């Protein structure tokens, strides 16, 4: 399908078998209601066909085979995004966002594009059971070896990626076979020397629900001063589901 010139591509990688509830429906409704620029939402992943909200395009992408020592989810991202690129070769770039990121106030590209971090640096864990932490460690080592900073750019917020820059990273670091946290590579390499905005409790951007003890009243209060709510698996609770259902009316 041909994109209109003014449309912005919004890509949500999604694995329905790992979904805990109606995260995707709420995320999509947030974009429709609050993103104030023309856009097209693409959901890509294994098993997405017939399961996305009406009006959203689904691109089927079977999971990659596991690679020993690598984080399968990060390898899947590369495979998924390659299929999006094949479908929309005329686009210069795209916004990537998780299915558990919900817009609750208006925003535009300016809010997406400026550089954000959750910490000045990160290190991860070389050994241990958590593959995401191992990928953080590998990514930090690559950045340090190349003389790049290690801003922690895993913000859980929408992020813009230029296709040419991203594909160069895929090729340089063999990212179809070796897993890294792509946002950390991308933003630290291409924006070396820049000052990143520090996310914290006082910003107007994100409230993260990463514990299971945040009640509905607190969620409603914080929604008045944040653009996005996000959650981890443990943060997906009946309270959050109820507030989002109430807010979006779906």
Contact, 177 vs 183, CB < 8 A?
A: no
Q: Average pLDDT of the chain?
A: 96
Segment 12-57, tens digit of pLDDT: 999 999 889 999 999 999 999 999 999 999 999 999 999 999 999 9
Measure the CA–CA gap between 186 and 69, rounded to whole angstroms: 22
Measure the CA–CA gap between 60 and 14, rounded to whole angstroms: 10
Measure the CA–CA gap between 193 and 184, rounded to whole angstroms: 14
Q: Please, which residues bridge with residue 55 across strands?
A: none
124 Ramachandran zone, left/alpha/beta (phi>0; psi -120 to 50): left
Q: Tell me what pLDDT residue 70 has.
A: 97
Q: What are phi and psi of 132, to 5 degrees?
A: -65, -45
Both tokens assigned to 36 = 């104030």
Non-local (6+) Cβ contacts of 55 within 8 A are: none
48 Ramachandran zone, left/alpha/beta (phi>0; psi -120 to 50): alpha
Residue 4 binned pLDDT confidence (cut-offs 50, 70, 90): confident
**CATH code for the part of the protein at 8-198:** 3.90.550
Burial class (CB in 10 A: 0-12, 13-18, 19+), 151: buried
Q: For residue 138, is pLDDT > 90?
A: yes
Nearest to 179 by CA among 130, 223, 224, 217: 130
Segment 189-227, tens digit of pLDDT: 999 999 999 999 999 999 999 999 999 999 999 999 999
Contact, 139 vs 124, CB < 8 A?
A: yes
Q: Cβ–Cβ contacts within 10 Å for residue 160, how many?
A: 16
DSSP 190-209: HTTTPPPEEP-TTSSSEEEE
Measure the CA–CA gap between 78 and 176, rounded to whole angstroms: 6
Q: Cβ–Cβ contacts within 10 Å for residue 109, how many?
A: 15
Non-local (6+) Cβ contacts of 59 within 8 A are: 42, 43, 44, 48, 80, 83, 84, 87
Q: How much of the chain exceeds pLDDT 70, in percent?
A: 100
Non-local (6+) Cβ contacts of 158 within 8 A are: 10, 95, 96, 97, 101, 112, 228
Residue 1 binned pLDDT confidence (cut-offs 50, 70, 90): low
Please report, for the chain, the start and end positions of each structural domain, with discontinuous segments joined by +. 8-198
Residue 152 binned pLDDT confidence (cut-offs 50, 70, 90): very high
Q: How much of the chain exceeds pLDDT 90, in percent?
A: 96
């Amino acid at each position: 399908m041909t994109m209109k010139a003014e449309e912005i591509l919004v890509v949500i990688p999604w694995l329905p078998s790992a979904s805990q509830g109606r995260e995707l429906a709420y995320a999509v409704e947030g974009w429709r209601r609050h993103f104030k620029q023309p856009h097209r939402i693409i959901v890509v992943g294994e098993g997405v066909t017939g399961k996305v909200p009406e009006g959203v395009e689904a691109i089927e992408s079977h999971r990659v085979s596991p690679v020993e020592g690598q984080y399968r989810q990060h390898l899947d991202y590369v495979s998924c995004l390659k299929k999006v690129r094949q479908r929309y070769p005329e686009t210069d770039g795209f916004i990537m966002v998780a299915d558990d990121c919900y817009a609750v106030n208006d925003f535009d590209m300016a809010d997406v594009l400026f550089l954000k971090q959750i910490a000045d640096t990160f290190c991860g864990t070389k050994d241990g059971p958590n593959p995401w932490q191992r990928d953080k460690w590998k990514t930090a080592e690559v950045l340090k070896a190349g003389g790049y900073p290690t801003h922690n750019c895993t913000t859980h917020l929408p992020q813009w990626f230029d296709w040419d820059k991203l594909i160069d990273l895929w090729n340089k670091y063999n990212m179809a076979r070796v897993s890294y946290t792509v946002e950390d590579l991308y933003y630290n390499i291409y924006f070396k020397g820049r000052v990143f905005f520090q996310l914290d409790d006082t910003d107007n951007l994100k409230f993260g629900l990463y514990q299971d003890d945040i009640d509905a009243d607190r969620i409603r209060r914080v929604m008045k001063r944040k653009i996005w709510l996000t959650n981890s698996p443990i943060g997906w609770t009946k309270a959050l589901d109820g507030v989002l259902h109430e807010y979006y009316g779906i």
